């Protein structure tokens, strides 16, 4: 993986889905960091500054909403775009995520991996 590869952080407790996204993103030339729960993600974000964060909302230990709130108030992280990828499809959840700073919100069952990769490329610049 090239040193100048854009870093993407995937925060997703579904290891299969996370690994699938990681493999596709690495094939596209991105460097990928993975966290499998919110607590692990918050710790990793103390030292990492990814170009984009892909965040699930329903996770053990610390929820995605709590991670999003931490990102929004952390100097240096507040400008990192966050893309939500969740099974939560209620308007209230989508609105809450947007209020906490999410740039995009996708419901897992409604987006293909190809469309997701396209959106990631767009947001990660």
Condensed to tens digits (0 to 9), the pLDDT of residues 27-43 reads 999 999 999 999 999 99
15-27 and 113-124 are packed helices; what angle lies between their axes, rounded to 10 degrees?
A: 60
Mapping DSSP to helix (H, G, I), strand (E, B) and coil, where does residue 106 land?
Answer: strand
Rounded mean pLDDT of the chain? Answer: 93
Q: Please, which residues bridge with residue 33 across strands?
A: 9
CA distance 30 to 22: 9
pLDDT in tens, 85-99: 999 999 999 999 999
Q: Find out if CATH 3.40.50.2300 is the number for domain 7-124.
A: yes
Mapping DSSP to helix (H, G, I), strand (E, B) and coil, where does residue 12 land?
Answer: coil
Query: What does the block give as tokens for 32?
Result: 């990928």
CB atoms within 10 A of CB 83: 22
Q: Between 125 and 85, whose confidence is greater?
A: 85
Q: What is the pTM of this model?
A: 0.94
Closest listed residue to residue 81, CA positions, set 91, 71, 90, 89:
71
pLDDT at 52 over 70: yes
Q: Where are the domains of the chain?
A: 7-124
Q: Which residue has the tokens 């889905």?
A: 17
CB of 83 closer than 8 Å to CB of 10 = no
């Amino acid at each position: 993986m090239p040193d100048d590869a854009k870093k993407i952080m995937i925060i997703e407790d579904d290891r299969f889905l996370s690994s699938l996204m990681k493999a596709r993103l690495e094939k596209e030339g991105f460097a990928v960091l993975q966290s499998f729960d919110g607590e692990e993600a918050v710790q990793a974000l103390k030292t990492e500054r990814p170009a984009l964060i892909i965040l699930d909302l329903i996770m053990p230990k610390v929820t995605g909403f709590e991670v999003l709130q931490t990102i929004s108030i952390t100097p240096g992280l507040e400008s990192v775009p966050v893309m939500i990828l969740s099974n939560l499809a209620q308007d209230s959840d989508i609105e809450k995520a947007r209020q906490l700073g999410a740039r995009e919100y996708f419901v897992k069952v409604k987006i293909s991996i190809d469309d997701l990769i396209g959106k990631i490329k767009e947001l990660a610049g």
